[in-house]
Amino acid sequence: MERLVIKFGGTSVMDAERINKAAQIVLEQSAEGVQVVVVVSAMGHATDHLIALAQDVCSKPNARELDLLLATGEQAAASLMTMAIGRHGGRAQCYTGAAAGIVTDDNFGDAHIRRIDPRSLENCLRQGVIPVVAGFQGVTEEGEITTLGRGGSDTTAIALAAFLHAKRCDIYSDVKGVYTADPRLVAEARQLSSISYVEMLELARHGAQILNPRSVQIAIDRGVQVRVRSTFSPEDPGTLVTDHAKQRGHFTSMTCDTKRDCLAVSLGMPTSDSHHLRRFRSSRLHWKNSTVKLFAATGVDVELGNLLKHDPRIMVFGVDKKHADKAKALVLQASNGIRNLSAHVETDLACVSIVSGENNSAIEVEAILTLTRSNIPITFVTRSSHRFSLFVPTSKMHDALNALHNNRVLLAKAA
């Protein structure tokens, strides 16, 4: 019998009425003759409330205890969902992450799944019972409860789909699927019927809060078909995330992220003297390499960027706000051999990204021209094979998104 993992996000289980609605979706799918496994997030803003509570008790709560606390949110939602399925005539059983056999490392607060022992869930499915698994959590080899980081319920769902050999993982939330842009910000945004894994990964990593990036990586690694759909429009097939994107020819999606700062580093070296310049270039390269190594070793999330007008004395990085101060300290720490090095963090920026089947310079040029025509200043840009990102003032983010989305040339070039 085919298997389907269904995951409900926090807004889909926000209250008793929504939990019952979600339970009906489960039973409709189950009635179609597939074995269903349910994964739930904590109700609404439960996780945020628990974090606030912990911070009230103790300004810097220990990650181990915080995980025990946060795991209660999903445990509660899972038991309520199990009750709701029972109320509507289904047979369901509730599992914590530990009971579902989800074993993680002991990186409390951001644990990685090491393996899933599927025996208890397999046994449950064999008996015709629907397992309801608390998302976002696992257990270490030593039996300590861990959580998988923000959005970790997506990871639970997609990892379970992989380990249970499910035909698909349906991620239900309050959005109908993946759009060409966030429809709350761009009125003309249209829904996509499918998107490729790599494009989805770029979206997830650059501000689209549809799927957690780690869960997309698992989907890629294990070939899990994922469907993003809405609890409030269950008849809508949503967007399929897969390795065969049907609309690749036409597709560009955009996203934006206000959680990144610009770390600008000035390498105060005169450019007039050619001897000095050579020395400068050599030490710059050396400095850059050692800095990148430092970033990687300390887990700081940065991306090297480019100014629109190249200046060898200035290097810019896009950096996660949480890591900005640390990144600055690391940069200064690596400054051996560079005279007069100074670094500063520029905040209040938004990173607007264009994700496409394949990035190319035509897209980049058109995007830059579009923003320039709209008088939107571009601080710097970053790129990957499927993405081009422009850092603009936060106040201009909305305008930038709409200007880019309205540009038909850009859409065509992205094709």
Nearer to a copy of itself, 50 or 314 (CB): 50
Nearer to a copy of itself, 62 or 361 (CB): 62
For the bound state, the minimum distance from the C-beta of residue 25 to a copy of itself, rounded and expressed in Å, comes to 15
For the bound state, the minimum distance from the C-beta of residue 34 to a copy of itself, rounded and expressed in Å, comes to 23
- The pair of structure tokens assigned to 203 is 């979206």
For the bound state, the minimum distance from the C-beta of residue 202 to a copy of itself, rounded and expressed in Å, comes to 36
Nearer to a copy of itself, 69 or 171 (CB): 69
- The set of residues, in sequence order, having a beta carbon less than 8 Å from that of 72 and lying 6+ positions away, is 50
Nearer to a copy of itself, 60 or 310 (CB): 60
Nearer to a copy of itself, 107 or 384 (CB): 107
Task: Tell me if 185 sits within 8 A of 401, measured CB to CB.
Answer: yes
d(CA 243, CA 397): 30
- The set of residues, in sequence order, having a beta carbon less than 8 Å from that of 296 and lying 6+ positions away, is none
For the bound state, the minimum distance from the C-beta of residue 60 to a copy of itself, rounded and expressed in Å, comes to 8
For the bound state, the minimum distance from the C-beta of residue 38 to a copy of itself, rounded and expressed in Å, comes to 13
Give the E-state strand segments of 163-313 in sequence order: 168-173, 194-196, 226-230, 239-242, 252-257, 260-267, 302-305
Query: For the chain, give me the number of helices (H) and strands (E)?
Result: 12, 20
Nearer to a copy of itself, 76 or 314 (CB): 76
Sign, CA torsion 408/216/391/335: negative
Task: Tell me if 189 sits within 8 A of 181, measured CB to CB.
Answer: yes
| HSE (side-chain half, CA atoms, 13 Å) at 262 | 26
Task: Tell me if 398 sits within 8 A of 319, measured CB to CB.
Answer: no
Nearer to a copy of itself, 19 or 208 (CB): 19
- The pair of structure tokens assigned to 390 is 């422009």
d(CA 210, CA 182): 10
For the bound state, the minimum distance from the C-beta of residue 37 to a copy of itself, rounded and expressed in Å, comes to 17
For the bound state, the minimum distance from the C-beta of residue 91 to a copy of itself, rounded and expressed in Å, comes to 11
Nearer to a copy of itself, 96 or 335 (CB): 96
Nearer to a copy of itself, 71 or 392 (CB): 71
For the bound state, the minimum distance from the C-beta of residue 74 to a copy of itself, rounded and expressed in Å, comes to 9
For the bound state, the minimum distance from the C-beta of residue 231 to a copy of itself, rounded and expressed in Å, comes to 15
| Closest C-alpha among 304, 314, 310, 317 to residue 269 | 314
For the bound state, the minimum distance from the C-beta of residue 394 to a copy of itself, rounded and expressed in Å, comes to 33
Task: Tell me if 166 sits within 8 A of 224, measured CB to CB.
Answer: yes
Nearer to a copy of itself, 54 or 368 (CB): 54
- Strand 252-257 versus strand 349-356 pairing type: antiparallel
Binding residues for a copy of itself, rule: CB under 8 A, are 15-16, 19-20, 50, 53-54, 56-59, 61-62, 64-66, 68-69, 71-73, 75-76, 78-80, 82-84, 86-87, 94, 96, 99, 143, 145
- The set of residues, in sequence order, having a beta carbon less than 8 Å from that of 128 and lying 6+ positions away, is 91
- The set of residues, in sequence order, having a beta carbon less than 8 Å from that of 278 and lying 6+ positions away, is none
